[in-house]
Amino acid sequence: MFLDWAAKLGLLEHNPEANILKEFSLPVKKILVSQVVTFLLEGSNAIKCLISANHVDWALETVGQGFTLPIEEEDSIIKVINLYRTWTLEKGKRPAPISKNFQYFIQQMLMHFSLLFHPREASKEMVEKHANLCSKVLDIFLQIGRQLGTKLSVETWEIFLKLLTSCADYILRQDLEKIQEALPRKLNAQIMKVVFELFLLSKTRNPDLWGALIDRVSYWTHHMSLILTWKTFAISLTRRTAAILYGPSEGSETVSVKLDDSTQNLQLEDEYVFYAWHKLLYILGNPNEQIKHPAIFLAFMNGIEMLVNFYLALGSKEINDVVAPPSGNTILNLVGPWLFDAIQLDRKGFDEGTALALKILCNIVMTKAHTNIQPYYIAHFYFSLQQSLLKEGRVLLAGITSCTNLFSYSLQGVRCLLPAFVFAIHKILSRSAKPFDNVMPAEHVRRSCLTILGQILPLPNHFQDSPFKLNIMNLEGSQGAQIKPFDVGTFTQLKNHYNIILMDSLSNENYAPNLERILSLTYLWQCENIDNSSDFTKQSLTLIVRKMTTAWPHDVTKMALKIVSQMSELYPKIEKGSDQADRIIKSLCKYVTTQIKAINHNNQEKKEELTSLAYQCICNWLMVEQWLLKKPKTRDELLKAIVLGLTGNLQNVIDAEQVVTKEKTKKKKKDEKKNEKQNVQQILVISDKIKNAAHETLLVLLNQTGNFPTACGPSAVSTLITELEVLDNNIELSKQNGEITINPKNSKEYIRYFITLEKVIICCIDRPFNPSGPSVTLIVRDKTGKYAWDINLSYLPITVPKFDPPKIAPPPISDVPFQPLTQPVPLDEIDSIFSYLENQPTKNSFPIVQNQVQKEDQFLVQNNFHLNTDITVKEPEGANPYSGACGWQQSRMLLSHLGYLSLENRDQLYPLHMNHAFFNALRNLDQVSERECVKISCIFARKGQSTLEEYLGNEGGSIDFQEFINSLGWGVKLSKHNGFKGGLESKRAGPITPYWANFSTEVTFQISTLIPNTDSHPEQNHKKRIILGNNVYVVIVWVEDLLTFSPQMIWHKAKSNCVIICINPLPHGLYSIRIFSKSESTSVGPLFDGVVVSKYSLGLLVRSTSIAIHTKERVIQEGEIGMLEIRENVLDDIFRKYKIECNLEKFYSSLFSTNDIIGPHEAQLSSSSNIEVSRKTKRKPKRTLESPVPPQRSKGDLRSHNKRENSSNWSSTYTRPSHSDSQTKIGVLGSHHRRNANNENQEEEKSRKKKSSKKLKNKKKNNNNNN
């Protein structure tokens, strides 16, 4: 019988005096049991008849035989179960002798209950009924334990637990007959739950009982229910122990067991909780030996994973100050041996469990890396991981996917695994490993490989020829198979493997997100290794350009174009870089042509975006050097691509292709003629986006090739000269000259503004006293910037020939004043003449004549008979253009010589209204930067700091941090800086800040440690306003302790939706990068979350990534409108509002007159200041002037600061100045200027009258003198 089995197990001693009906025949037993149990269940018969202990013993002996009856006697068995249930659980219905000696009789009834679990020979149907009966008994067992547990004696509990163990062992044993398999299948889960719960309710610490249970459980491990039940109870006890140690927030206040959609809360003493937890945790023994079924072993590892995850999460909430969270050593002490054995045994068919064991192990080590794990465990971990990386299948998959961030932790000696990881990564990325599709998508596995590769890229150059102590060539792979040759002895020898891995990945990868990651890694490796060799850079560039122009999808090509643009910064280090740039430009030109031809209604947007990016990429490679001037063929191809983007005319492209492919055959010539006829007048419709991109490329080629950086440095691409400065120079020089007086009032006579149909503003300023002679300063403004030219009118050749002018002798001059041409009158005739005259009545007139002659003689004598008068013809002197009333002379001639003043070009040039509104609009134009302006904030967080206020209170920073700041850009003095300042002012932001610029972008870095602290405000709110102000889309945080950092502290205070780039210095001199973003968007590169870089490339990569992120976020939050488009909109506005359309007479008259205009002095025009703009819409920008302009030119992108950074005028919306705005802006000041202008006009008229009257008087005096 069943009690004999219990005795055989050594759990109970057999009582030979019991079971008195054993030898009775079955029919007798049936009748006897049925009659007795029926009688005892009726009314109160049991209480009345069973009045002594002997009576009860007899009744139990009789009725107890019902548990041994065949299952066909189901009714009798159920009656016996109900009777025993009543006597055990219902105190009022049990006979008095049972209550008096309850412990004895309940022990007897428990023993009788156990008889039901003995298997019977029966059909499957009967076995099902047998299982149901046993289930009812198990429910009664649970009720006894829960309701009477505190009333049961230790002896009763021990008998109870021994019976339970025997029942479970008898049913769950492996040698059960097949016909009885339904019994354990139905009962195993329930009986496990009952056994474990009653052991806990008994609160027994009897080592024999626990030992017996542990011994028998080892024979039940072929049942899945055992593992599932064990997992539930183990986790419940673990949660309770955590609550005891660390507080109720970390666990549960009771042992809460959830099974079969029900929850049972067990109230146990704290000490017993720890005792039972330890016993139950190790009740299975060594699972690697006891568990023989892979699925059950996997379930066991799932339970271990749940336990480990719970322990790893401890400490995230409020914890007890006395007890520290479990360290990595503590957790490995609990489960480490099971995990190490599971990995190293490598049992065939147990791949899933082994892979999960490796995953758990990696999770423990990496999560608790900061707790100084013991070398013993670290060594076993490295050995287990290295062994797994040399295998195939799930284990290799787990080794890769579980260790994606392993090399970003400061684990001692972790780099000894580098050869094994490179071997595994190469095997997976080259597709030589077994497929993982049935476990995980292969592309996800390859992505994990790429993530690991991003952490190990800088190691070869960082450690160079340091040897690896453990060579994987000496190891064996899975099942003893020798691995493929992979001889790597030093870090340097890994470089070639990196080259192969990246090139193969670029060639073979077809999953778009992975390709984007590979492109970033390629650029990272180029930056790391280009100083040693540029071969990989050239090969990878060629491959990327070829793939992106032929095979890759839209998103990948978009990323590739951006990466190739960034790669242009490596040009100076590329051997024969001009040839490489030449190949890139040619390929991009062909790509642009192909894209424009292929544009249709279905994919127009995408192709326009790629074409625009291709033009931008061309610009970046154009500006690296003046190599294009040496490549005329490439230049011609580029110009054709630009013209195609501007006009859409395919004829030039077709002609070029025909010239290349032309063959001297008659058939070919006929085909070409047909094609020519068909292709003539093929014009494509080009979108504005492509036209703008092509136009900007043309402007870069024409304006900036060979002209950046300019003479004023990279901080400015426009001239720093202002109209006010030129006019002030005129005033100063006029004081030295003394002939003409120029003052702020009449300086307007020397300046005019015009605008062309192409929206180019031309300012012509006459400079009368230029040291090199009268000249013109021409200031040109277009959408690309502001440019100034000094122009002199030259008539003489550059080299004047040396010759002596011919010397002509003057005609001879006689000493005698008069030589008559006739013969003299004879003397004898004179007397007759005088006598005649005496006889005439001329006596009165003669004295008059005589007097006249005397006076004439006297005058001639006094003037030496005019012999000294120079009457020779002389060469005229040069004209003085400024002797008249008009001061705008040289400029008029310049425009006339250029043809702008001719009748034919009359509609090409318009004068501009020089009024206050115009000068305000002109100032707005100068305040719009020509380049993309980026401001990036940078914060330093010391180890031990955990709040934003502590971060912002730092000054200086570590040496590493300061070197990093120097690598972002060059330092500029804010007080003298001419470029974009990003809202920084020297008074409150300190004297110096890092700055970087190229031909298309300006970047200002707002460094928190360079901004002075305010002692009166320890929360440093002034720094918050700058570092986390408007339009800050990227925040760099140098975090010495990443565990204490939370991005929420920055997002909570930031005014814009920003991306956070965290730089975490690693102990061995490298830097781990973490990127936090609120949106789950694709990476922009080159850096991505989790990558590790060296100090050498850190600044370059962080800057490039920050600019890329800023551009992306700015487009999302403000719109796609660029700075050149904003400038173009302002120019359109000026053209529409201030151009003067008049007849020819007025036009030509305005060239000489200064009526109805004001000058820059009156408009207080000066240089530009920093202003901010929002680009949320593509409408024409609207802007009003907010604050006085500083004397130094300081360009902005209309997104920088004003005196008040939060000013709604500047920080939110850029508004176009309208007439009403201008009038409102001017207000009283405008009327004051108008009154001054009227007064000035009156004074000028008075002065002119005075001058004219003086001239008349002078003329009269001269005439009188002449007379």
pLDDT tens readout for residues 702-721? 988 888 888 888 999 999 99
Of the candidates 156, 170, 142, the one whose C-alpha atom is nearest the C-alpha of residue 206 is 156
Find which of 14-28, 762-776, 873-887 is predicted with most confidence, using mean pLDDT.
762-776
**Confidence bin at 1212 (pLDDT 50/70/90):** very low
Which pLDDT belongs to residue 1199?
35
**What's the pLDDT tens digit per position in 67-87?**
888 888 889 999 999 999 999
**What's the pLDDT tens digit per position in 773-813?**
889 999 999 999 999 999 988 887 877 665 555 555 666 65
Angle at 1072 between CA 1066 and CA 1076, to 5 degrees: 140
For residue 220 the two structure tokens come to 């039940």
**What are the CA-CA distances from residue 588 to residues 546, 622, 637, 944 (Å)?**
9, 12, 10, 51
Which pLDDT belongs to residue 8?
52
The partner residues of 928 in beta bridges, in order of sequence, read 1197
Which pLDDT belongs to residue 170?
83
Count CB-CB contacts under 10 A for residue 718.
Answer: 21
**Confidence bin at 602 (pLDDT 50/70/90):** low
Give the whole-number percent of the chain exceeding pLDDT 90.
44
Mark out the alpha helices in 1091-1207 (DSSP H runs): 1095-1118, 1123-1138, 1144-1150, 1160-1163
Which pLDDT belongs to residue 32?
87
**What's the pLDDT tens digit per position in 433-471?**
877 767 888 999 999 999 999 999 999 999 999 998 766
Query: Which of 235-239, 311-315, 629-633, 1077-1081 is the least confident region?
Result: 1077-1081
Which pLDDT belongs to residue 737?
77
Give the whole-number percent of the chain exceeding pLDDT 70.
81
State the amino acid at position 82 in one-letter form: N
Of the candidates 134, 231, 236, the one whose C-alpha atom is nearest the C-alpha of residue 190 is 134
Find which of 41-50, 680-689, 695-704 is predicted with most confidence, using mean pLDDT.
695-704
Q: At what angle do helices 154-172 and 207-217 cross, to 10 degrees?
A: 10
Q: CA–CA separation, 161 vs 138, rounded Å? A: 13
Which pLDDT belongs to residue 742?
84
**Can you give the C-alpha Rg of the chain in angstroms?**
51
For the segment 632-652, the average pLDDT, to the nearest whole number, is: 88
Instruction: Kindly tell me if the per-residue pLDDT of 1014 is higher than 50.
Output: yes
- Render the burial of 265-286: b for 16+ CB within 10 Å, e for the rest: ebebeeeebbbbbebbbebbee
Which pLDDT belongs to residue 969?
94
Which pLDDT belongs to residue 1253?
56
Instruction: Kindly tell me if the per-residue pLDDT of 1203 is higher than 60.
Output: no
Query: Which of 10-19, 890-899, 952-961, 1215-1224 is the least confident region?
Result: 1215-1224
Which pLDDT belongs to residue 1210?
26
Instruction: Kindly tell me if the per-residue pLDDT of 817 is higher than 70.
Output: no
Which pLDDT belongs to residue 292?
92
Measure the CA dihedral 203/209/215/221, to 10°.
-40
Within 8 A by CB and 6+ apart from 133, the residues are 71, 74, 77, 78, 81, 116
For residue 786 the two structure tokens come to 């502001």
Angle at 93 between CA 88 and CA 96, to 5 degrees: 85
Which pLDDT belongs to residue 392?
86
**Confidence bin at 601 (pLDDT 50/70/90):** low
**Confidence bin at 970 (pLDDT 50/70/90):** very high
Which pLDDT belongs to residue 695?
92
Arithmetic mean of pLDDT over the chain:
82
Query: Which of 288-297, 474-483, 1174-1183 is the least confident region?
Result: 1174-1183
**What are the CA-CA distances from residue 388 to residues 385, 397, 767 (Å)?**
5, 9, 82
Which pLDDT belongs to residue 19?
59
**Confidence bin at 320 (pLDDT 50/70/90):** low
**Confidence bin at 549 (pLDDT 50/70/90):** confident
Question: Looking at per-residue confidence, does 628 or 1250 come out higher?
Answer: 628
For residue 932 the two structure tokens come to 């993309």
At residue 536, φ and ψ (nearest 5 deg) are -65, -40
Q: CA–CA separation, 647 vs 596, rounded Å? A: 11
| Inter-residue contact 188 to 172 (CB < 8 Å) | yes
**Three-state DSSP class for 776?**
strand
**What's the pLDDT tens digit per position in 121-152?**
767 788 888 889 999 999 999 999 999 999 99
Instruction: Kindly tell me if the per-residue pLDDT of 426 is higher than 70.
Output: yes
pTM of the model: 0.80
Question: Measured in Å, how far apart are the chain's first and last C-alpha atoms?
Answer: 167
Which pLDDT belongs to residue 6?
53
Question: Looking at per-residue confidence, does 1013 or 361 come out higher?
Answer: 361
Which pLDDT belongs to residue 1215?
31
